[in-house]
Amino acid sequence: MKIRLDQVVKTFDTFRAVHGVSLEIESGQLVALLGPSGSGKTTILRMVAGLEYADGGHIYFGDQDATDIPVRDRGVGFVFQHYALFPHMTLAENIAFGMKVSKTKRSKTEIATRVLELLRLVKLEGLGDRFPGQISGGQRQRVALARALAVDPKVLLLDEPFGALDANVRRDLRRWLREIHDELGITTLFVTHDQEEALDLADRVVILDQGRVVQEGTPAEVCREPNSAFVMRFLGDANRITATVRDGRAYIGETVMDAPSSSDGPIDIYLRPGDIDWRPDGNGIPATIVRVLDRPGGRRVLANVEGGTALEFDVPPETDVRSGQLGRLQIKRSRLYPA
């Protein structure tokens, strides 16, 4: 089912949480709503679900205007951050709940068969008689997904689905959710504040800030062509150097860089830690190493360039760098945004 948001607005008391957001989610896609806290991502998800009503604009499911359809008739599966499993019901009863209260009558055996099928899908066979209090967080989230899928939703919505879990469990569940999505082909929208999660899992990423869509695209598009300094900073570690542009050239202290598409005036140059090369001597921006952090994949170097700007970059693990050492930095890649 294709979902379309048209100029959706939501205000809480005096706080405008969502400012006229328009979005299109193609049928069968897995889309991430990514943003810092307060960016309105959860509010948008809850409006798509019908748990909040939009103050303005429209939400379409396919060709149908779903803006005013109450949540119970909207046909969405919602997975809550803290699972919201019914604690007094067994896992099987939790999964069966939607089928039991549904207007379409199902026989007991039909429900039981479907419950077993879903327990198998979420790899929890044989645990149907347990209560939610007796299983782990990762298992609970899988039950919550099975429960949401039991009513054959047109759309699956997940609110920070892995937010409350350990890093290892998160990674496993992420891969597993992708597999389930590919198997069922259900249009899925999930909210996260974790860039890695959004980029690893989603077909498309919608980046939000202060109730507005900042950029929308595939993980490759948003990573390679961040359209603003905010996206650049939000997607990962980023260094900022201030510079001045004159006649298509950017001046960083003594160093000069080509900046053909920038107009004259102050500019911010953004660099990922991998965009910088370190040399003990030769050409480049002079820098002094302040600290070296050892990480599994390499060494992260914290250095100061002339003027006191602090930069972070990575060097291979066997590189000999020490704090206090002087050297030169060369810029391999960079993105320029007006200051």
162 sits near another protein (criterion: CB under 8 A): no
Map residues 177-216 to x or -, x wherever contact with another protein holds by CB under 8 A: ----------------------------------------
126 in contact with another protein (CB under 8 A): no
* Binding of residue 148 to another protein (CB under 8 A): yes
Are residues 76 and 22 in contact, defined by beta-carbon separation less than 8 angstroms? no
Residues 11-50 that bind another protein (CB under 8 A): 49-50
How far apart are CB 48 and another protein at their closest, in Å? 11
Q: Which is nearer to another protein, 52 or 216 (CB)?
A: 52
Instruction: Count the site residues for another protein by CB under 8 A.
Output: 34
| Nearest distance in Å: CB 89, another protein | 8
Among 37, 63, 101, 247, binds another protein (CB under 8 A): 101
62 versus 87: smaller Cβ distance to another protein: 87
Supply the minimum distance, in Å, between the C-beta of residue 333 and another protein: 44
Interface pick for another protein out of 26, 72, 182, 277 (rule CB under 8 A): 72
SS3 8: strand
Q: Which is nearer to another protein, 144 or 259 (CB)?
A: 144
**Residue 149 engages another protein in binding (rule: CB under 8 A):** no
Task: Tell me the CB-side half-sphere exposure of residue 339, using CA atoms within 13 A.
Answer: 13
Q: What are the strands of the beta sheet with 212-217, ordered from one edge?
A: 76-79, 155-159, 187-192, 30-34, 204-209, 212-217
* Interface residue with another protein, options 91, 151, 201, 202 (CB under 8 A): 151
Amino acid at 136: S
Residue 223 makes contact with another protein by CB under 8 A: no
- Residue 324 DSSP label: T
Tokens of 139: 């298992």
- Cβ atoms of 296 and 263 within 8 Å: the answer is no
Stretch that binds another protein, among 27-35, 92-100, 164-172, 256-264 (CB under 8 A): 92-100
Best CA proximity match to 236, nearest among 226, 248, 247: 226
> Quick check: helix, strand or coil at residue 225?
coil
Return contacts of 126-130, CB within 8 angstroms, 24+ apart.
127/91, 128/90, 128/91, 128/92, 128/95, 129/90, 129/91, 129/92, 130/90, 130/91
The position carrying tokens 């001597």 is 281
C-beta neighbour count of 81 within 10 angstroms: 16
End-to-end CA distance of the chain: 42
Shortest approach of another protein to residue 186 CB, angstroms?
A: 15
Which residues of the chain form contacts with another protein (CB under 8 A)?
49-51, 70-74, 76-78, 80, 82, 84-89, 97-98, 100-103, 130-131, 133-134, 144, 147-148, 150-151
